[in-house]
Structure 1
């Protein structure tokens, strides 16, 4: 893969990760469209680089919330948690579904579902879901009104994003809006919920990467992406 291709794929990831469209689908379709075949070990390293870049952007933008939850960690199990501790608890609960699905179905997702056809169908489904959510009932709730079972539902929506083409942000925001959350509240909870999932994904890929030698000249491409 050329330097320009790495920059383009990094730009696609950066632009689509924060929109209610699937970044993984756009990366998959871009590679298929341009005919870019990546060696497995480099593809894995490139995914790690993209995850780290996206995660850094999210944590920088939500640095106040992240710092608040970090400080509130000792009181997360309190009977009367602070708002930050309660939010941290909801994020932990909401992360459980994606962990279960990833552990149980990762091989099927990677070997069977990671195709341009699946991504295209999932993109269309996600678009319809967002349109329906926009026309749903009143949306007046803030993220501090989310209950534990609603966090589980939003977490289940995040788990569907393991399917290429299902937008993590689009699906979770849509479910939040169906539950009556304001669009901005649903978006904030969505991106905060993404932090532990992205951390886990990047760590998993980084561990796997230690078992694979990278092709020569990979470092500059990873930095470019």
Structure 2
């Protein structure tokens, strides 16, 4: 991989990781367009590792929320009286909601890095989940707040997040859609979805780092891609949280459908190979 390719993939990761458009799908498409072999383990590992930049940007942006929940959680572990604080309950719900995608990601690792990397899968994921997002916006009542979050709700959102392991679906698209269907406010469930994604992104990066550094990608391109991802993702997170506080996510559906149809045309005409 060249430095230029690493920069491009870093930009794509930073732009798409926190938008409901599927970062894995975009990485797969862009990598293929640049002539990279998308089912090469070193390439898929590189894509997972540069998510470290996006994770770091997310943690930096949400540092106050993370510190507040972490402090409440540790206090609650030591002091029974501190367990009555709402932040202690929210900390546990965030941890529980992160479990499904971590488990599925571990046990379905070979499937995710193999057959699901087909561009046909990406196209289908983009189009099909676009319909889900439209339905979610149509039924959204947005009459529930973060304080109303229950164990059942967070498990549903966490399970929905596992669908993001299918390229084309999108982690934020899955969590926002599930949250809207459950009646939560768009901006609050978006923030919650970001928090739930941290363990999964971090876990994937830890697992894939050795292969990315020792394989065909190398240290320098990996570092470059990670730094670029961090810078772009930091601004993207802030933009997305401001956007969903005032707008629906329907605009992303039209983009998803356009990209999905474009992929189908390119695949059908032979302009792009599926793998």
TM-score normalised to structure 1 length:
0.89
Deviation at 1:143, TM superposition (A): 1.5
1:8 maps to 8
Q: Does 1:157 align with 2:166?
A: no
Structure-1 separation of matches of 2:124 and 2:150? 32
CA contact (8 A) 2:172 2:193 kept: yes
| 1:209 alignment partner, one of 186, 208, 211 | 211
CA contact (8 A) 2:14 2:54 kept: yes
The runs of 5 or more residues in structure 2 that have no matched partner are 226-275
| 2:119 alignment partner, one of 116, 119, 125 | 116
Deviation at 1:99, TM superposition (A): 2.5
Structure-1 separation of matches of 2:19 and 2:108? 26
The runs of 5 or more residues in structure 1 that have no matched partner are none
Q: Does 1:125 align with 2:133?
A: no
| 2:96 alignment partner, one of 93, 96, 119 | 93
Q: Secondary structure at the match of 2:55?
A: helix
CA contact (8 A) 2:27 2:47 kept: no
CA contact (8 A) 2:73 2:92 kept: no
Structure 1 pair 112–73 and aligned structure 2 pair: CA distance change class (3 A)? same
CA RMSD of aligned residues (A): 2.1
2:175 maps to 172
Deviation at 1:215, TM superposition (A): 4.5
Q: How does 1:178-193 map to 2 (within 5 A)?
A: 178-193=181-196
TM-score normalised to structure 2 length:
0.74
**CA offset digits 1:64-92 (Å, max 9, x no partner):** 01111221222456584422211110111
**CA offset digits 1:102-132 (Å, max 9, x no partner):** 2332222322211111011001112111111
1:41 maps to 42
1:30 maps to 30
Q: Secondary structure at the match of 1:117?
A: helix
Structure-1 separation of matches of 2:143 and 2:185? 5
Aligned length: 221
Structure-1 separation of matches of 2:47 and 2:182? 36
Deviation at 1:7, TM superposition (A): 0.9
Which aligned runs of 4 or more in structure 1 are off by greater than 6 angstroms? none
1:199 maps to 202
Range with greater deviation from structure 2 (105-114 or 156-165): 105-114
Structure 1 pair 123–200 and aligned structure 2 pair: CA distance change class (3 A)? same
